[in-house]
Structure 1
Amino acid sequence: MTGVHETVASLADEVLNGLSGSRTALIYAPNTIGKTRLAQHLKESDPDGVVLYNSFVEDVFTWDNERVVLKMNPESELLETIVTQGLDSAIVDNFRAFTSGKIEPGLDFESGEVNFGIHKGDDSSADGIKISRAEESIFVWSVYYSVLSEAIETLRDNPDLRSTANYDQLTHAVIDDPVSSMDDVRIVSVALALAALIKRASELDLKFVIATHHALFFNVLFNSLRRKSDRAYILARGQIAGWTLSRQSKDSPFSYHLGIIKEINEAISEDAIGRVHFNQFRALLEKTANFLGYTGGWGDLLVGPDAALVTKVLNLYSHDRFADIDTFEVAEEYKDAFRSEFQEFLKAFRWAAAA
Structure 2
Amino acid sequence: MAKNNNIQTFNDLDGLAQHLRNQDKKVTLLFAHNGTGKTRLSMAFKELGKQINENGEDVSRDTLYFNAFTEDLFFWDNDLENDSERVLKMNTDSRFFSSLAEMEMESRIGPLLHRYADFNFEIDYSNGSIVFWREMVANSDGTEEPAYIKVSRGEENLFIWCFFLAIAQWAIDGQEAYDWVQYLYIDDPISSLDENNAIAVAADLAHLLKDQDRLKTIISSHHTVFFNVLCNEMKRALRYFLTKAESGYELRDTTDTPHFYHVAMLKELHRVAKTGEIYTYHFTILRSIMEKTATFHGFSGLGEIIKREPNDEDGELHARYVNLLSHGNHSLFEPVDMMEENKRIFRKILNNLMNNYRFNPKLFP
Name the counterpart of 2:362: 350
Normalized against structure 2, the TM-score is what?
A: 0.64
- Any conservation in 2 of the 1:117–1:125 contact (CA below 8 Å)? no
Cα distance 1:291–1:12, how it changes in 2: closer, same or farther (>3 A)? farther
- Any conservation in 2 of the 1:98–1:138 contact (CA below 8 Å)? yes
Match among 271, 278, 282 for residue 293 of structure 1: 271
Is 1:247 aligned to 2:253, yes or no? yes
- Any conservation in 1 of the 2:34–2:222 contact (CA below 8 Å)? yes
- TM-aligned CA deviation for residue 135 of structure 1: 0.3
- Structure with the higher fraction of residues in strand conformation: 2
Cα distance between partner residues in 2 of 1:242 and 1:68: 44
- Cα deviation per residue 1:242-296 (whole Å; 9 max; x = unaligned)? 1111111379631799xxxxxxxxxxxxxxxxxxxxxxxxxxxx76742533589
Structure-to-structure mapping, 1:95-106, within 5 angstroms: 95-99=113-117, 101=118, 103-106=119-122
- Any conservation in 2 of the 1:118–1:127 contact (CA below 8 Å)? yes
Cα distance between partner residues in 1 of 2:111 and 2:7: 42
- Structure with the higher fraction of residues in helix conformation: 1
- Any conservation in 1 of the 2:89–2:128 contact (CA below 8 Å)? yes
- Any conservation in 2 of the 1:218–1:251 contact (CA below 8 Å)? no
- Cα deviation per residue 1:146-172 (whole Å; 9 max; x = unaligned)? 00012212x2xxxxxxxx533222110
Name the counterpart of 2:46: 43
Name the counterpart of 1:330: none
- Any conservation in 2 of the 1:63–1:71 contact (CA below 8 Å)? yes
- TM-aligned CA deviation for residue 121 of structure 1: 7.0
- Cα deviation per residue 1:321-348 (whole Å; 9 max; x = unaligned)? xxxxxxxxxxxxxxxxxxxxxxxxxxx9
- Any conservation in 2 of the 1:234–1:256 contact (CA below 8 Å)? no
- Cα deviation per residue 1:5-43 (whole Å; 9 max; x = unaligned)? 1100111122222x22x1100000111101001101111
**Matching residue's letter, 2:244:** R
Is 1:32 aligned to 2:52, yes or no? no
- Cα deviation per residue 1:175-230 (whole Å; 9 max; x = unaligned)? 000000111111111111111111231x32x1000000000110111111112xx1
Aligned residues between the structures: 255
**Matching residue's letter, 1:2:** I
Cα distance between partner residues in 1 of 2:78 and 2:178: 36
Q: Which secondary structure does the structure 2 equivalent of 1:98 belong to?
A: coil
Q: Which secondary structure does the structure 2 equivalent of 1:182 belong to?
A: coil
Is 1:151 aligned to 2:166, yes or no? no
**Matching residue's letter, 1:9:** D
Cα distance between partner residues in 2 of 1:175 and 1:82: 20
Match among 8, 11, 14 for residue 13 of structure 2: 8
Name the counterpart of 1:235: 242
Name the counterpart of 2:107: 89
Is 1:135 aligned to 2:113, yes or no? no
Cα distance between partner residues in 2 of 1:289 and 1:77: 43
Cα distance between partner residues in 2 of 1:295 and 1:13: 44
How much identity, in percent, do the aligned residues show? 29
Is 1:184 aligned to 2:195, yes or no? yes
Cα distance between partner residues in 1 of 2:274 and 2:151: 22
| Higher relative contact order structure (alpha carbons within 8 Å, sequence separation ≥ 6) | 1
Q: Which secondary structure does the structure 2 equivalent of 1:111 belong to?
A: coil
- Any conservation in 2 of the 1:115–1:127 contact (CA below 8 Å)? no
- Any conservation in 2 of the 1:222–1:251 contact (CA below 8 Å)? no
- Cα deviation per residue 1:107-163 (whole Å; 9 max; x = unaligned)? 11111111101245779975221111110110110110000012212x2xxxxxxxx
* Unaligned runs of at least 5 residues, structure 2: 1-5, 51-60, 80-84, 276-359
- Any conservation in 2 of the 1:82–1:88 contact (CA below 8 Å)? no
Cα distance 1:222–1:62, how it changes in 2: closer, same or farther (>3 A)? same
* Unaligned runs of at least 5 residues, structure 1: 156-163, 258-285, 298-347
- Any conservation in 2 of the 1:184–1:216 contact (CA below 8 Å)? yes
Cα distance between partner residues in 2 of 1:63 and 1:256: 38
Cα distance between partner residues in 2 of 1:8 and 1:32: 13
Name the counterpart of 1:116: 132
**Matching residue's letter, 2:169:** S
CA RMSD of aligned residues (A): 2.7
- Any conservation in 2 of the 1:4–1:241 contact (CA below 8 Å)? yes
Cα distance between partner residues in 2 of 1:46 and 1:220: 29
- Any conservation in 1 of the 2:224–2:261 contact (CA below 8 Å)? no
Q: Which secondary structure does the structure 2 equivalent of 1:350 belong to?
A: helix
- Any conservation in 2 of the 1:78–1:144 contact (CA below 8 Å)? no
Cα distance between partner residues in 2 of 1:84 and 1:8: 37
Cα distance between partner residues in 2 of 1:296 and 1:117: 36
- Any conservation in 1 of the 2:106–2:123 contact (CA below 8 Å)? yes
Name the counterpart of 1:303: none
